[in-house]
Amino acid sequence: MMRPMAILRTVCLVAVISPTAWAGSPGPGSSEPELLAVLRSDAAEADKAITCKFLAVNGSPAAVPDLAPLLSNPRLASWARIPLEAIPGPEAAAALRQAASQLEGRLLCGVLTSLGVRHDGAAVSLLAEKLSAEDAEVAACAAWSLGQIATPEATAILAGALDKGSEPARLDAVARAAVLCGTNLLAAGRADDAIGIFASVRAAGVTEQRLAEAIRGTILAQRAAGIPLLVETLRSPTQRLANMAVFIARGLGRGEAADASLAAAVDKALLAEIAKAATDGAVPRAELLIDVVAERNADDASEAVTEALAGLAGAQNAKPLRLAAIEALGHTGNAAVVGPLLVAAADDDSGIADTARSAVAVLEGEAVNQEIAKRLAGADAAVLPALLELVGRRRIDAVAAVLPLVNHADASVRAAALVALGPTVDLGNLEVLVVAATQPKSEAEGGVARTALREASVRMADRDGCASKLAAAVEKAPAELKVMLLDVIGEVGGAKAVQTMAAAARSGDAALEDAATRLLGKWMTADAAPILLELATAEPGGKFKTRALKGYVRIARQFVLPDAERADMCRRALAAATSEADRTAVLEILVRYPSAATLAVAEEAAKTPGLEAEAKKTAHTIRGKMQPGKKAG
Amino acid sequence: MKRRPSLTSRRGFLKGGLAAGAAVAAPTIIPSSALGLDGAVPPSERIVVGGIGIGRRGEYDLGCFLQQPDVQFAAVCDVKENRRNHLKGVIDKHHGTTACVTYRDFHEILDRNDIDAVLIATGPNWHGLMAMHAAHAGKDIYCEKPCTKNIAETLVHRDTMHRCGTVFQAGTQRRNLPHFAFACELARTGRLGKLTRVYAHPAGMKASTSGWLPEEPAPDAAVDDWDMYLGPAAWRPFNARTLKDGFNFEKGGGLVGGGVLEWGSHCVDLCQWAVDDRPPPVDYAPPKDDQLVCRYDDGVELVFREKGWIPLGSCPVRFEGTAGWVEAGDSGKMVLSSPELLAGRKIEEIGGYPATFHVRDFLDCVKTRGKPKGNADAACNAHLACHAANIAIYLGRPVKLDLETYTFVNDEAANRLRSEARREPWNA
C-alpha cells in the first residue's frame, strides 16, 4: 500500500495525477477510518497534512476529535482547518471555539477566521471579545468574521466598534468588516439594517475607500431614494468618491438587478448633470457622463435619452461634447437619429464628420439601412462618397444603385463605389470588380478594385463558382495580374481552387508555378495533398518539387486525418523524400500520432538502407507511447 | 447586445475623472519626458502602477504596461530579492530614472496613496486573495489568470470588486484580439443560428496538487520570503523547487486544478463570451474519450476536448450553431463554415496572443471607471465553470450546479470542494 507521504512526493515529481492513481491507497477514495488511522499514527507531518485534505471531503463529525489537537500545531493547523471548515454539524464549530480560548497570535487568527467562514452564530460573543484583543491581527480577524456572520447581534457589535478614536488600522479593519456586514445584510433582503450599518461607517471618520464603499452600499440599499446621494457623490471633489459614483452610475438599475423605473430615474438625473456640466463649462465631466449614459442605454435607449444626446450633438455645443454625444448616439440610437447624424457627417470639421459617419455605421436596425439607401438615389457627388462608405460599412443591399456609380464621372465617387461593392456585391455581379481590377481606369483605382475584389471573393458562399470566375479571369489577365488573381483564388479555397492551383503549378509559367506551389503549401484543407504529392514526385519534375513535398508533409502533420490515411501519406512521403531532413520530418509525424498504422510505416522504413537506425528508434518510441502508463523512451 | 461604447478610444479623460482639482503626487523624476515637456503625457494624467509578484509572465505584462505613454510604473513587490532588483532595473531603465521603489511586503505597495493600479502576476496561489487586498486598498487591478482557487473564492472575488468599485481586468487578453472577438460575436449575435456547442481546449484534464517536498534550510526572508510565498496556502517546509515553481504552486487550491483551470481560464472564458457571458453551465460530466461535456441551462454544451482541432495554434475554441461554425486559435487565424459569415468584414489577424490591447483596455477603463473586457463578472463565470468541471474530474462523476446558490445539488462531497481554508492569518 502506498502511504500518503509517498503519494505526495510522487505527486510533486509528476505535478499532475489522476484520481485513479490513488486507487487502493489512502487518498480521495479512502474511508474515514483509514484516514483517521493516519492522523492517530506516528506518520510524518506530510502524511497527516494530505490526510486532512482528504478528510475535507470524506470526514464526518467523528473526525473532529482527531483534527482539533492539530489546531495548536503551527505546521499542521492550516491543514486541519481545511476539514474543520468543511465538515457539517456543530462539532467542528465547537472545536474551533474551544481552540480559540487557548490559542493566540496567528493560530488564533486562523480559528477565528474559520468560525466566520462557517457563519457560526454561537461564536459572536467570543468574536466580540477578541475584537478588542491587543494583537491587531487577531482583532481584524474577529471583525472580519463578525461581518461574515452578520446577525443582528454581530451587526450591533461592529457598529459599536466603529470608534473614531481608534488607531487607524484597527478602525479600518472594523470598517471593512462593517461594510462586508452591510453587504451581507443587503443580500439577505435586510435593506434597512444595511443602511444602518453603512451610516455608522460613514459617520466614523473612516478612510476614503471605506467611505466610498459605504456610500455605494447606501445607494444600492436605498434604490431610487439613493439617487440624490449618487448625484452628490458624483459632484464630490474627492476623486475616489467621484470615481465610485461613476462606477455605481454605470450599472444602477441595469444588468442583473434591472429595474426599469429606477433606471429611468437614474438616466434623468445623469442627463440633468450633463446639462449642468455643459452649462458650467465642465466639458470633461460632461463627456464622461455622456459615456456613462451611453453604456447604460446601449441595449434600449429611451426617447428621452436619444433626444437629449441628439441635442448635445448639435452645432451650438463645444466640439468635445458633440463628439461624445455623436458617438453615444451611434451606440444607443435608431433610424430617427440618422438625419441628425448625417447632418453632422457633412460638417466642415472632419473630426465631427468622421465620427458621425462611424456612428451611423454602428446604428442598429434595417430602418437605418433603408434610410441610407433612399438618400443614395438623389445624392450629388459631394455627398455620395460618405453614403457609399456607409453602404459598405453597413453592408446594405444596394448593389443595383451602386453599380452605375462605378462609371461615375467623379473619381472619388467611382472609388467609393468600388469600395462599397467589396462587402456587398453578389457573385452574379463579381465581374464588375474583376474588370475594374484587371482593366483599371488608373493605377490607384486598380488598387482599390483589387482590394474590393479580394474582399468580395472570400465571402462568396459558392466558392467553386467564385473560383471559376476568377480562374477564367487568370487566363485573360495581363501577366502582372495573374499572380494577384491566383492569390485571391487561394484565399477563396474549395475544390475548384485546388484544380486551378494544380493547373497553374503545371503551367510552365515560372511565376504561376511559384505562386501556385506557394499557395498549395499553406492550403487549409487536406484535398491539396494529392496534387502536392504529384508535384513532388513528377519526373523530371519542376523547380518546386521540394516545396511541394514540404506542403504534403505539412498536411500529414497538422490535419485531422484517419490513422490509416495519415500513415499512408507518411509512407508515400518517405518514398518521395530525397533529403535526410525531409525523412526525419516524416518520422516525427509517425511519433506524433502513435498507432498500429504509423508503427507499421516505421517498421517498413527500418528496412530502408540509410534509415534503419532512425526508423527503429521511431518504432520503439511509438510502441512505448502505445503502451498505457508507460512513458515513451 | 451592443458593444459598450468606448469614448476613450478617441481620447483619454484626465485621470482625475470628475473630481476638480484632485491632487496627484508628482513622482520624483527628472527627465523632461516625465514632466510632459517633450510631448509625453504629463504626470497629472498618468496612471501610476505598481507590480506585485512579477515573474516571467508578469515581466511580459510589465512590458505591455511600459509601452503605454500614460503609465508610470512606480514600484515593484516580490518575495524574491533578485526579482525585485531585476525589475527595478528594467523599470528604471525604461523611465530613465532611479525612482522605482522595491518592496518585499505587498502591504507597503498597497498603502501608497499615489499608486492607482496594480499588476498582479504572482503565482495562482496568491492571485485571488491579493486582488481582494488590492481592491480593499482602493487599487484598480490587472491580474493574471487563473484568478481564483475555488468556487467560494471566485464568488467573493467578484463581490469584492463590486463592493470596492474596482476596475478589474483578468489576464484574459484574447478578449481583446480581433479574430477571437469576431468568432464570439458570430456566436453571440445568432449568426451561427441557434448555438448548440462551444468547445474549449483544456490541454490536460487531471486533478493536481503541489505536495510537500522535503524540508531544506530556509534562506533569509530578506532574500526569499518563504512565509509570504506560501501566503494563503497550507503550510509546508521550505523547498527551493517549490519556491521556483510559483506558476504551478497551489493552482486550483491543491486537489483540483490542472489544465482545465490553467487553459480554461482562457478558452472557457472565450466560450463564455460566445454565450453572451451568461452564468456558467449547470451540468458537468467527468472526462470520457478525451472530452468533458458540460451543459448550460438551455441545453447548449460546453465541451472540453483534447483532440480534433483544426491546426490554428494554441488555445483553440470552436463555436457551433444550427447555421454554421467558427474555429479560432492563437495563430490569429480562424476558419469559418462559410465565408458568408464574414459578411465583408476584414478581421485583422494578430497572432501570438499579445496582451498590449488588453492592457490598453484596462487603462482606458481606469480613467472612465468603465468595465474592461476581462471584467470581474466575466472572469467569475469562466472560473466557476472551470472549478466545477475540475470537481467533476476529481470526483469522477457528474455534478450539477445550482445557479441561484452556486452550490451543487444534493452533493455534499462536491460542495465541500467549493472552498478551502486559507492559512492563518489570511482571509478575504
For residue A110, list chain B residues with Cβ-Cβ distance below 8 A: 421, 423-425
Which among B138, B417, B421 is the nearest to A81, CB-wise? B421
Grid coordinates of A12: 510533486
d(CA B30, nearest CA chain A) in Å: 26
Q: In terms of Cα–Cα distance, which of B216, B196, B228 is closest to B130?
A: B228
d(CA B311, nearest CA chain A) in Å: 6
A residues 427-456 near B, CB within 8 Å?
455-456
Question: Is A8 at the interface with chain B, CB within 8 A?
Answer: yes
Euclidean distance between CA atoms A252 and A247, whole angstroms: 9
Which among B7, B137, B419 is the nearest to A209, CB-wise? B137
Q: Kindly give, in sequence order, each residue whose CB lies less than 8 Å from that of residue A104, ignoring residues fewer than 6 positions away.
A: A135, A138
At position A76, the amino acid (one-letter code) is L
CA-atom Rg of chain B in angstroms:
22
Percent of chain A residues topping a pLDDT of 90: 78
Which among B308, B311, B343 is the nearest to A459, CB-wise? B343
Taking CB atoms and an 8 Å limit, are B19 and A84 in contact across chains?
Answer: no
pLDDT at residue number B1: 41
At position B197, the amino acid (one-letter code) is R
Residues B217/A25, Cβ–Cβ less than 8 Å? no
pLDDT over threshold 60, residue B177: yes
Question: Is A395 at the interface with chain B, CB within 8 A?
Answer: yes
Grid coordinates of A33: 477510518
Taking CB atoms and an 8 Å limit, are B254 and A455 in contact across chains?
Answer: no
The average pLDDT across B114-137 equals: 97
Q: Chains A, B: CB contacts under 8 A, how many? A: 252
What is the pLDDT of chain B when averaged over all its residues? 89
Question: Is A180 at the interface with chain B, CB within 8 A?
Answer: yes
Q: In the structure, what pLDDT confidence band is assigned to residue B295 with cuts at 50, 70 and 90?
A: very high
Residue of higher predicted confidence among A536 and A300 = A536
Which among B206, B235, B248 is the nearest to A18, CB-wise? B206
Which among A236, A424, A458 is the nearest to B19, CB-wise? A236
Which among A12, A58, A327 is the nearest to B7, CB-wise? A327
State the distance between the two ends of chain B, measured CA to CA, in whole angstroms. Answer: 34
Convert the pLDDT of each residue in A485-534 to its tens digit: 999 999 999 999 999 999 999 998 999 999 999 999 999 889 999 999 99
pLDDT over threshold 60, residue B415: yes
Euclidean distance between CA atoms A296 and A298, whole angstroms: 6
pLDDT over threshold 90, residue B273: yes
A-chain residue closest to B334, CA distance: A524
Q: In terms of Cα–Cα distance, which of B406, B18, B165 is closest to A252?
A: B165
Q: Which of A22-31, B309-318, B362-371 has the lowest mean pLDDT?
A: A22-31
pLDDT at residue number B38: 59
Taking CB atoms and an 8 Å limit, are B165 and A216 in contact across chains?
Answer: yes
Q: Cell 504561376 maps to which residue?
A: A512
Taking CB atoms and an 8 Å limit, are A11 and B208 in contact across chains?
Answer: yes
Convert the pLDDT of each residue in B318-362 to its tens digit: 999 999 999 999 999 999 998 778 876 778 999 999 999 999 999
pLDDT over threshold 50, residue A11: no
pTM score over 0.90: no
Convert the pLDDT of each residue in B37-56 to its tens digit: 456 787 778 999 999 999 99
Residues B292/B303, Cβ–Cβ less than 8 Å? yes
pLDDT at residue number B42: 79
In the Cβ-directed half-sphere of B377, how many Cα atoms lie within 13 Å?
A: 15
Question: Is A237 at the interface with chain B, CB within 8 A?
Answer: yes
Q: What SS3 class is residue B303?
A: strand
Residues B330/B352, Cβ–Cβ less than 8 Å? yes
Q: In the structure, what pLDDT confidence band is assigned to residue B251 with cuts at 50, 70 and 90?
A: confident
Convert the pLDDT of each residue in A185-239 to its tens digit: 999 999 999 999 999 999 999 999 999 999 999 999 999 999 999 999 999 999 9
pLDDT at residue number A26: 66
Euclidean distance between CA atoms A20 and B185, whole angstroms: 40
Q: Cell 481583446 maps to which residue?
A: B176
pLDDT over threshold 50, residue B80: yes
pLDDT at residue number A412: 95
Which among A82, A288, A291 is the nearest to B234, CB-wise? A82
The average pLDDT across B246-273 equals: 87
What residues form DSSP beta bridges with B51?
B76, B119
The average pLDDT across A94-114 equals: 98
Q: In the structure, what pLDDT confidence band is assigned to residue A628 with cuts at 50, 70 and 90?
A: low
pLDDT at residue number A13: 31
Taking CB atoms and an 8 Å limit, are A86 and B419 in contact across chains?
Answer: yes
Euclidean distance between CA atoms A538 and A540, whole angstroms: 6
Taking CB atoms and an 8 Å limit, are B209 and A11 in contact across chains?
Answer: yes
The average pLDDT across A288-292 equals: 95
Percent of chain B residues topping a pLDDT of 90: 78
B-chain residue closest to A277, CA distance: B18
Q: Kindly give, in sequence order, each residue whose CB lies less than 8 Å from that of residue A251, ignoring residues fewer than 6 positions away.
A: A296
For residue B251, list chain A residues with Cβ-Cβ distance below 8 A: none
A600-615: b (≥16 Cβ within 10 Å) or e:
bbbeebbeeeebeebb
Taking CB atoms and an 8 Å limit, are B212 and A79 in contact across chains?
Answer: no
B250-285: b (≥16 Cβ within 10 Å) or e:
bbbbbbbbbbbbbbbbbbbbbbbbbbebebbbbbbb
For residue A15, list chain B residues with Cβ-Cβ distance below 8 A: 208, 248
Euclidean distance between CA atoms A570 and A586, whole angstroms: 6
Predicted ipTM of the assembly: 0.92
pLDDT at residue number B14: 38
Taking CB atoms and an 8 Å limit, are A290 and B7 in contact across chains?
Answer: yes
Which among B21, B136, B308 is the nearest to A237, CB-wise? B21
Sheet with B283-284: strands ordered across: B334-336, B324-328, B317-321, B195-200, B301-305, B291-295, B283-284, B399-402, B407-408
A118-157: b (≥16 Cβ within 10 Å) or e:
bebeebbebbbebbebeeebbbbbbbbbbbbbbeeebbbb
Convert the pLDDT of each residue in A153-198 to its tens digit: 999 999 999 987 789 999 999 999 999 999 999 999 999 999 999 9
Taking CB atoms and an 8 Å limit, are B138 and A463 in contact across chains?
Answer: no
d(CA B346, nearest CA chain A) in Å: 8
Alpha helices in B74-150, H assignment, sequence order: 81-95, 106-110, 124-136
Residues B387/B261, Cβ–Cβ less than 8 Å? yes
Residues B110/B234, Cβ–Cβ less than 8 Å? no
Q: Cell 499572380 maps to which residue?
A: A483
Max CA-CA distance within chain B? 65
The average pLDDT across A377-403 equals: 91
d(CA B90, nearest CA chain A) in Å: 30
Which among B5, B21, B419 is the nearest to A327, CB-wise? B5
Percent of chain B residues topping a pLDDT of 70: 90
Convert the pLDDT of each residue in A36-59 to its tens digit: 999 999 999 999 999 999 999 999
Question: Is A51 at the interface with chain B, CB within 8 A?
Answer: no
For residue B8, list chain A residues with Cβ-Cβ distance below 8 A: 291
Interface mutation vs chain B, best among A8, A12, A47, A179, most B CBs within 10 Å: A12
d(CA B84, nearest CA chain A) in Å: 27
Cα separation values, B238 from A6, A238, B83, B209, B217, Å: 18, 45, 18, 17, 7
Question: Is A276 at the interface with chain B, CB within 8 A?
Answer: no
